[in-house]
Structure 1
């Protein structure tokens, strides 16, 4: 038979209280309370014995977390074709037209072969493609 015991204690010393605050994973201690970690962060540890040094960790560029109070041990990598260049991201952005990313967990997109050749080496070349359609109605 397994029994779980949660102990919270208070000692009064000259009018101030010292206590052990226990918080679940996905939270951090703020103002003597357990507060859920915001989106874009993770915190996989239980906080016991009033250990207030455990904080929500920001997801690094290339990774994200959409869930408030996440107790995951790692942030989620951005999928192929997307990127995130910010810390604490709650999602990833699609690569722009002419760019790609074929590796997950990246903070940038690569220029596609056509885009790179149009830009040349060290200089910007502006290319405008025109198309037209003429309709003849009789």
Structure 2
């Protein structure tokens, strides 16, 4: 194969043929895209850059969401799910931090965990719902908060906890409220221990829910005692259920 020639104007006004040499292979470059007759060699593309074609004068920067981990590379590579590259020319991708995730490949950023969820590992591809008895009202968190004593939550992915009704109580991180013993049926709303259950009422806001027939463990259905609103088990009322005359049910 005959070499390619370039006609170069000389300072004295003459001209002569000068061999360009071979084009630079893919993954490399030179100032004119050729080896210049053996006097100039082609340079490999550095990390973070690539070149899929031959005879090029520059390499291409990896785009955001991609990376090039080695020299002399022909193609850029997508960052895998759970990773990202925010800027171009990356030679490595970063793992999503705690509290964030990325389910897709080739992305420039991670996504903050939504409220009611958490992420406690690096390079996550999905969120985890807060378990019953816990909640999280902020986005981008690595853990959930335990419901305080006197409150509960029976669902996953909760943003808040519900107060226990009068006549019930709960400890920390509870998924339900327990009914006070029949010998001590009275307690104030939001009671955090059965020691708060009393044999006799001690205030207008202290009402016994006995006779309702089931415990309180959901915010979806609520029982109203006068002016007090109390969360109870979700779903329909059972047949033959005996209600306290002071109680009525509200489904929200």
User: Would you call these one fold, judging by a TM-score over 0.5?
Assistant: yes
Following superposition, the deviation at residue 80 of structure 1 comes to 0.4
Q: Per-residue displacement from partner, 1:21-52 (whole Å, max 9, x unpaired)?
A: 421111111385411111111101111xxxx6
1:87 alignment partner, SS class? coil
Question: Which residue pairs with 2:230 in the alignment?
Answer: none
Q: Stretches of 4+ moved more than 6 A in 1?
A: none
Question: Which residue pairs with 2:82 in the alignment?
Answer: 81
- CA contact under 8 A between 2:3 and 2:19: conserved in structure 1? no
Q: TM-score, normalised by structure 1?
A: 0.67
Question: Which residue pairs with 1:30 in the alignment?
Answer: 31
Distance 2:91 2:43 in 1: 18
Q: TM-score, normalised by structure 2?
A: 0.39
Distance 2:8 2:60 in 1: 33
RMSD of the alignment, in Å?
3.2
Distance 2:102 2:84 in 1: 8
Distance 2:109 2:59 in 1: 25
Residue 103, structure 1, aligned to residue 104, structure 2: yes
2:138 alignment partner, SS class? helix
* Residue ranges of structure 1 left out of the alignment (5+ in a row): 121-126, 130-138
Distance 2:74 2:62 in 1: 13
Distance 1:57 1:86 in 2: 14
Following superposition, the deviation at residue 98 of structure 1 comes to 0.7
* Residue ranges of structure 2 left out of the alignment (5+ in a row): 33-39, 119-135, 146-252
Distance 2:61 2:85 in 1: 13
